[in-house]
Chains A and B, each alone.
Chain A
């Protein structure tokens, strides 16, 4: 188990014990975190834009898992339109589609990156 501590003066939590942490990386994948072997553009953007803070692969975290998102929209036929719609959600945030929890806006994500991310998420099952 990775150990976790908080630098209280800053409120920052930092992981301790790198060797222990390394062991838990494989467990992490099983528990619904990013597939660390995925080297695609989508995975890279997922890490870069810190999507993992709210969304994981299979498990509901703060927001829905990619799997849940992918499943919900699997029957939509117009994929291009779907990607465009969800890309706007990524950037502007959203509210009401997954319960009462709002999604924060992400103004730092470009429209191109948002599309790549959405396509990557929709490909996940």
Chain B
């Protein structure tokens, strides 16, 4: 037995272990388990314990402690603990140390971790926590919708800025926030995908400030400035741990495992959608498209290997990635306006223009999302057409890949918006292919009949609510995230009836894209603002949360479920400044005992 005393806050190393002495397990299937306790000997439940090191088959592997503070890593593909590093993450605790690493009777390793409860968690909480006290109203929604889609909010630079306003009157602060909006109108343009080259320094400032040329709205800014002036803190040095507990859902459990795979440089990347594919031999890989650089990554979760593929030279801004039922992957190329089909077997693309391809011609389709089926495949209607949203012109496009023909249909206008600021967005298709349902960021969920080619139902939400990328289940029930309002909206399209609106435990979590999980009858969706993903169990109407090991500063995109294993796959990436991690994630959710440390708080 080796006694080890290390005292490194937040980071616990067992790399120093004389690994030759302990932990030698046959067949490279090492188990490590242990318990987390606090200074009083109490169990620290719901803590994420992350291992990183060489040869783990992933960049990191994470598990969670149960109600007794126990964690366990099973079958790690290493023969000993040499080079492995522990990192723990649990809001409300710090000061970790390893008291002892022992070899258990079954040759597994035992590593107990000691932690200290802290009351001030200002340096640990995600940005969403600083929005929790904002009133639940449209102005707050507008802040979330306009700001958190490009960077977590309040971003560190926003906090830096807000902290300089302490001595100002509310009226002065309001003016200063208006100035920052003008700044963001310029700033938001600065991140461009490969193939788009604009010298922003030569663009007249009037161009940025004119709503006709810009996605920001002076009307929204009129509501956002007062609420920020009144409610944005100017001191971010203290946040009470018990206040954050109120924002949490019950957590992942002891059988949950999260494996992360770092996608390769260049560092200035934004892998947007990921989706899964099984090859002819049944081997699963995760494909991810990089919106910034013309490339695609293929990650093999079984080995951790990542391969990079170049995307076609004439595409700009790879955005959405959805499989069909024939083993092909379909993508939207947002800025250049194409739809593409990729054959993983031949590694060849076929491209179709949506009729709005020419950004050099002054027209912008901004092809965005497909209408997906319940199983998150690309939907085809009775005429063999797929459907996608053209966000730049507020139109739906129907493409028949066999004939190459495209048709476009107007989406409903949203009040006070130009065509593109309506924000035509995500889509789904009903099981019979007769309807597609699409969202608009500025407040609509609507259906379009693919046979009569008419708009049928239009459901409105308060401006700023932010309906985004939605899912549909096998009974044609829609699950839709409200990014600005922080709710999950559930609607029965057959009965034409709302089933419910479910506020997230953390309303400023910025839910982005929902996926239905047929095996669990649950839906999953990522957060843009709180470094986690949520699971919502349809039968119990309960939320659960799964924190991301390295998710700070990132937005989680579409989530895919592997129906063979029930594992959950997605990627997350930064947007603003592009200076966060690009990761592919595999979650094995684990089904037994649910740790409900926050039950009393709720």
Contact = CB atoms under 8 A, between A and B. Distances in A.
Contact of A104 (B146, B157, B334, B575): B157
B215 A5 contact: yes
Contact of A34 (B187, B202, B363): B202
A5 B392 contact: yes
B201 A14 contact: no
Given A12-B191, A104-B160, A33 B362 contact: no
A107 B489 CA distance: 42
Given A7-B335, A8-B425, A13 B201 contact: no
Contact of A6 (B196, B210, B421): B421
Given A5-B366, A8-B420, A62-B179, A52 B185 contact: no
A56 B205 contact: yes
B206 interface: yes
Contacts of B205: 31-33, 56, 59, 61
Contact of B215 (A6, A18, A46): A6
A62 to B, nearest CB: 5
B183 A54 contact: yes
Contact of A14 (B165, B168, B335): B335
B190 interface: yes
Nearest to B391: A8
Contacts of A33: 201-205
A120 interface: no
B213 interface: yes
Interface stretch (A66-74, A83-91, A94-102, A111-119): A94-102
Given A33-B202, A33-B204, A62-B179, A5 B364 contact: yes
A34 B366 CA distance: 30
Nearest to B149: A11
B203 A2 contact: yes
B176 A102 contact: yes
B189 A14 contact: yes
Given A5-B366, A9-B149, A102-B165, A17 B198 contact: no
B572 to A, nearest CB: 14
B192 interface: yes
A17 B364 CA distance: 9
Chain A interface size range: 35 or more
Contacts of A95: 164
Interface in B518-555: none
B422 to A, nearest CB: 8
Interface in B292-316: none
Contacts of B368: 9
Contacts of A93: 160, 164
A13 B160 contact: no
A45 to B, nearest CB: 11
Contacts of A109: none
A31 B201 contact: no
Given A7-B335, A9-B334, A36 B186 contact: no
Contacts of B319: 9
Given A8-B391, A8-B421, A14 B216 contact: no
Contacts of A105: 160
Given A10-B150, A12-B191, A17-B361, A31 B199 contact: no
B200 interface: yes
B174 to A, nearest CB: 10
A34 B319 CA distance: 33
| Residue of B202, B216, B319 most packed against chain A (CB within 10 A) | B202
A13 B183 contact: no
A41 interface: no
Contact of B203 (A11, A18, A28): A28
Nearest to B151: A11
B359 interface: yes
Contact of A10 (B149, B185, B207, B362): B149
A50 interface: yes
Nearest to A95: B164
Q: Taking each of A4, A29, A47, which has the highest tally of chain B beta carbons within 10 Å of its own beta carbon?
A: A4
Nearest to A103: B164
Contact of A62 (B164, B183, B204, B441): B183
A8 B192 contact: no
B483 to A, nearest CB: 11
Nearest to B442: A8
A6 B216 contact: yes
Given A6-B216, A6-B421, A8-B391, A28 B202 contact: yes
Contacts of A123: none
B224 to A, nearest CB: 14
Interface of B: 146, 149-150, 157, 160-161, 164-165, 168, 172, 175-176, 179, 182-183, 185-192, 196, 198-208, 210, 213-216, 291, 317, 319, 334-335, 359-364, 366, 368, 391-392, 420-421, 423, 425, 441, 575
Given A31-B204, A61-B186, A93-B164, 7 more contacts: A8-B425, A10-B191, A15-B203, A18-B360, A25-B202, A36-B199, A101-B179
Interface of A: 1-21, 24-25, 27-29, 31-34, 36, 46-47, 50, 52-54, 56, 59, 61-62, 93, 95, 100-102, 104-105
23 contacts: A1-B207, A4-B210, A6-B188, A6-B420, A6-B421, A7-B366, A11-B149, A11-B188, A12-B191, A13-B215, A14-B189, A15-B198, A15-B203, A16-B364, A17-B360, A17-B361, A27-B204, A28-B203, A29-B202, A33-B204, A47-B199, A101-B179, A104-B160
